[in-house]
Structure 1
Amino acid sequence: MTNEYIQALTIAGNDSDGSAGMPADMLSFFRRGVYGMGLLTSAVSGNSYQIEAAQIMPEEFITQQFKTLAKDFHIRASKTGMLANRAVINTVADNYQKVDFGPLVVDPVIITKHGSMLLEQDAYETFREKLLPMAFVLTPNFYEAQKLTELPLENEKEVADSAKLLQKLGAKNVMIKGRHDNEHQDVVSDYVLLENGDNFWLTEPYVHTDRVNGTGDSLSAVITAEVAKGRDVATAIKIAKKFVHQAIANPIDVGHKFGPINHWAPTEEE
């Protein structure tokens, strides 16, 4: 029957080189067996060397995409990616509350994995106040968790405390991604705090490679896909962690410099 096939949505920007943003989300959806849809917020002209131009979608167009999709489809889970500025964040947050697009996985995309700020301060504050409380799952990287909680995260206790603070800000389930910017480290450990109070660490070997574009996008997209399929959140997060590790550990040769992860590498064992 119509709309019985599992559908998931990414609300994100498009990277023209296919390595991150909406392309990485759509590849992840496909590999996890759900039908993916894309609500475009921005687009960048980039390659493996650099981003050379960017365009933010008009608020009216973003709103119209929400209305158009809501008329036709049964979207069972959604995720956000790059939301560019205060106006876009407000538009997405306001419209999401008017539709039924399932639980929302929020990938903050406010600070790079190397610690560089991606949003202006007013956009960051809007994200923290309006979008973060809507998160069924929040997936900040190490630096984003630092910024959002104002904790240094120098040990496991501070990481756990920061997850509790993020729950107090409204996020139901939190996955704080471990640092992976030190060439001397041996593992990458992520901390998970669930809505019911359960918590655990997920650890995989650190892979020395510059083929890591789209890592965070793909992680949150796989979580979204598994939630759409009806998985419990702990299982969804564990599948996503292993998926991304396998995609990083088996690189593909695309581009000259900073390449994409390999979405074809993960197995379908789960």
Structure 2
Amino acid sequence: MKSFAIPNVLTIAGSDSGGGAGIQADLKAFSALGVYGASVITAVTAQNTHTVSAIHPIPNEVIAAQIDAVLTDIAIHAIKVGMLGSVDIIETVAQALSRYPTIPLVVDPVMISKSGSALLPMNAVAALKQQILPRAYLITPNLPEAAALVGLDEPTTIDGMYALLPKLHELGAKHVLLKGGHLEGDNDAVDLLSDGKHVQAYRAKRINTQNTHGTGCTLSSAITALLAKHLSLDAAVSQAKVYLSESIAAADQLDVGSGHGPLHHFATLWNSTSDVREY
């Protein structure tokens, strides 16, 4: 197989009609960070900056066909998994990916949207824990997701986050990035990266904006892209968080909806005046 300078990465997730999260956010982050993005759509959602008004799951056989179509032809260097949505979809994705065990898997256990809509039924949590998470190189839960995964109360302090890490490792993933953005009363957002023995803390200044739709999708897809570029996990997480902070800081340059708007995924690439180049 030929070796290419630009890595190929795959996202398996739901489609966000508002463009701020899911497949759309993943592909934007992939492009901004210099990798080629392929996609497998697990569900089509009708959503905007306020709410998710409809979810239409893609048929299982079509999801499996998408995965095989990509992976039998394109040399994929890393895979990000986001919204799966149901037990059937989880089983379909797990079975399809079992044929490609050597590709690193980053799993963002999407359960609740920014607007508060449930994206993963509770009866699917057990299937996710049994069939997807043990296969993961990295999982990236936020605090509500982490609490739901292990059946404990949501941490309210950084010490509580540390205490939750061993339970998360029992789910089988090789590494855990526990995101602390939901903690209150701190000027910094703190994330904890653990391999089960050592913990690395990452701090980032909180940015005053309501336009944070898609932050979880973007962080996990950015890490996936950087892992595909052969960065160490520590370097990938560190650089992904810098990219995320830049995208959040520039989010108010966009004018997308009146609720929780999207990040500016191309903030460092686009001119702020949005000049149009003539071809």
Deviations 1:238-266 (A, max 9, x none): 11111111111121222222210011225
Normalized against structure 1, the TM-score is what? 0.91
Counterpart of 1:86 in structure 2 is 87
Counterpart of 1:16 in structure 2 is 17
Alignment of structure 1 residues 57-96 onto 2, 5 Å: 57-96=58-97
Looking at structure 2, the residues matched to 42 and 101 of structure 1 have their Cα atoms a distance apart, in angstroms, of: 26
How far 1:128 sits from its partner (Å)? 1.3
1:160 and 2:162 are equivalent in the alignment: yes
Retained in 1: the 8 A contact 2:7–2:35? yes
Q: Which moved more, 1:241-250 or 1:117-126?
A: 117-126
How far 1:116 sits from its partner (Å)? 6.2
Counterpart of 1:212 in structure 2 is 212
Looking at structure 2, the residues matched to 264 and 185 of structure 1 have their Cα atoms a distance apart, in angstroms, of: 28
Retained in 2: the 8 A contact 1:243–1:266? no
Retained in 2: the 8 A contact 1:151–1:158? no
How far 1:34 sits from its partner (Å)? 0.4
Q: Indicate the SS of the match to 1:24.
A: helix
How far 1:188 sits from its partner (Å)? 0.9
Looking at structure 2, the residues matched to 107 and 58 of structure 1 have their Cα atoms a distance apart, in angstroms, of: 21
Q: Indicate the SS of the match to 1:204.
A: strand
Instruction: Give the counterpart letter for 2:181 in structure 1.
Output: R
How far 1:159 sits from its partner (Å)? 1.3
Which residue of 241, 256, 259 maps to 1:257?
Answer: 259
Deviations 1:217-258 (A, max 9, x none): 000001100111111111111111111111111212222222
Counterpart of 1:141 in structure 2 is 142
Deviations 1:18-42 (A, max 9, x none): 1110000000000110000001101
Looking at structure 2, the residues matched to 15 and 129 of structure 1 have their Cα atoms a distance apart, in angstroms, of: 27
Aligned positions, number: 265
Retained in 1: the 8 A contact 2:51–2:115? no
Instruction: Give the 3 Å change call, closer, same or farther, for CA 261–37 of structure 1 in structure 2.
Output: same
Normalized against structure 2, the TM-score is what? 0.88
Q: Indicate the SS of the match to 2:77.
A: strand
Instruction: State, as a whole percentage, how many aligned pairs show the same letter.
Output: 35
Looking at structure 2, the residues matched to 225 and 42 of structure 1 have their Cα atoms a distance apart, in angstroms, of: 22
Deviations 1:196-231 (A, max 9, x none): x23121111112211011100000001100111111
How far 1:161 sits from its partner (Å)? 2.7
Looking at structure 2, the residues matched to 141 and 126 of structure 1 have their Cα atoms a distance apart, in angstroms, of: 19
Structure 1: tracts of 5 or more residues without a match: none
Looking at structure 2, the residues matched to 89 and 8 of structure 1 have their Cα atoms a distance apart, in angstroms, of: 20
Counterpart of 1:43 in structure 2 is 44
Q: Indicate the SS of the match to 1:45.
A: strand
Deviations 1:150-179 (A, max 9, x none): 333233333123222222220111111113
Looking at structure 1, the residues matched to 50 and 115 of structure 2 have their Cα atoms a distance apart, in angstroms, of: 16
Retained in 1: the 8 A contact 2:10–2:38? yes
Instruction: Give the 3 Å change call, closer, same or farther, for CA 46–151 of structure 1 in structure 2.
Output: closer
Q: Indicate the SS of the match to 2:34.
A: coil
